[in-house]
């Protein structure tokens, strides 16, 4: 089931980076953010012996991806889980280690397209934003219960919103009259809280607040900070981890984590590095790679992507 609206970001570059790690006997790759299965479909098509373990916390996305990937039969294992459970998922699938892991972070195109999920600020919908709609607090819960300072922190840190304090104060004042339930009222309040000059640039002024609420509701950064080290731990020698990040905090954490595992812990002036002190991974990318202007024109979601990758070189 191809979805014309679902365009996998940096697809060819992802396939190129994973290719050297999936040449052995029955290689296994984890798509830790399965979504609608675009990257996985391409991997299974390109690499004929590959088995993919697809993880997603969103049951609707998992069901749609399952339909799309059905032609590949038992070459696909689907897991309803958060990606910080990657080690358990790999073990439950019957594997001790894997040859590759892909993280395509952020919100999926399906979640944005379904108005009832409340991720998109361009259409009025219930303020939900849960990637798993069966558990956890909603965006409305955050707006209606957080103290002003806590709400401002969420908007400032996760949304990088310059006017976080103004928006938070306006939300707290407005909810005293009527709790927030749908997105249109929030979008209007954000627009009224931001100076006119600031509204003229940077797209829809609600974008940063909606991003911040989504990250808070789903504990996205916390889950990723647990998931990436776990992914490195289940990587077989020669295996590769590829990360597509769209938020500066996610990319910063990826950069720090990759720097740590690709750097020796002995003094730099030591003439010979003992084998047991050599780094277990090597960097595959110099800095963060970005999408080309051509891809951004074809797929606007690629505009903010930052790609980094490492390869395990030692057991």
Residue ranges of the annotated binding site for S-adenosyl-L-methionine are 37-39, 56, 83, 104, 111
Across 183-193, b (16+ Cβ under 10 Å) vs e yields: beebbebbeeb
| DSSP, res 300 | G
The full DSSP string for 37-98 is SHHHHHHHHH-TT-EEEEEES-HHHHHHHHHHHGGGGGGEEEEES-GGGHHHHHHHTT-S-E
Annotated binding site: 37-39, 56, 83, 104, 111
CA-to-CA dists, residue 87 to 52, 175, 295, angstroms = 14, 42, 33
CA-to-CA dists, residue 54 to 69, 158, 203, 242, 266, angstroms = 10, 27, 33, 15, 38
């Amino acid at each position: 089931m191809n979805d014309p609206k679902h365009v996998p970001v940096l697809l060819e570059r992802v396939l190129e980076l994973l290719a050297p790690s999936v040449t052995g006997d029955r290689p296994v790759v984890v798509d830790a953010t399965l979504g609608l299965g675009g990257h996985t479909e391409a991997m299974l098509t390109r690499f004929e012996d590959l088995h993919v373990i697809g993880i997603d916390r969103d049951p609707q996305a998992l069901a749609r991806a399952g339909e799309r990937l059905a032609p590949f039969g038992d070459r696909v294992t689907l897991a309803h889980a958060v990606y910080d459970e990657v080690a358990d998922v790999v073990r439950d699938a019957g594997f001790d280690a894997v040859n590759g892991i892909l993280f395509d972070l952020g919100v999926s195109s399906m979640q944005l397209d379904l108005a009832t999920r409340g991720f998109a600020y361009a259409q009025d919908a219930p303020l939900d934003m849960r990637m798993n709609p069966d558990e956890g607090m909603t965006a409305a819960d955050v707006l209606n219960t957080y103290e002003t300072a806590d709400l401002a922190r969420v908007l400032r840190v996760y949304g990088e919103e310059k006017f976080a304090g103004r928006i938070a104060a306006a939300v707290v004042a407005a909810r005293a009259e009527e709790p927030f339930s749908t997105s249109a009222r929030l979008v209007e309040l954000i627009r009224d809280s931001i100076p006119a000059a600031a509204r003229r640039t940077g797209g829809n002024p609600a974008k940063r607040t909606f991003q911040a609420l989504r990250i808070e509701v789903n504990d996205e950064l916390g889950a990723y900070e647990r998931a990436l080290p776990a992914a490195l731990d289940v990587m077989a020698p020669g295996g590769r981890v590829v990360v597509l990040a769209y938020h500066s905090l996610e990319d910063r954490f990826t950069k720090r984590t990759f720097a740590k595992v690709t750097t020796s812990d002995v003094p730099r002036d030591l003439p010979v590095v003992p084998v047991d002190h050599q780094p277990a991974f090597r960097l595959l990318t110099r800095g963060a790679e970005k999408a080309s202007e051509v891809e951004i024109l074809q797929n606007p979601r690629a505009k903010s992507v930052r790609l980094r990758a490492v390869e395990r070189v030692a057991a």
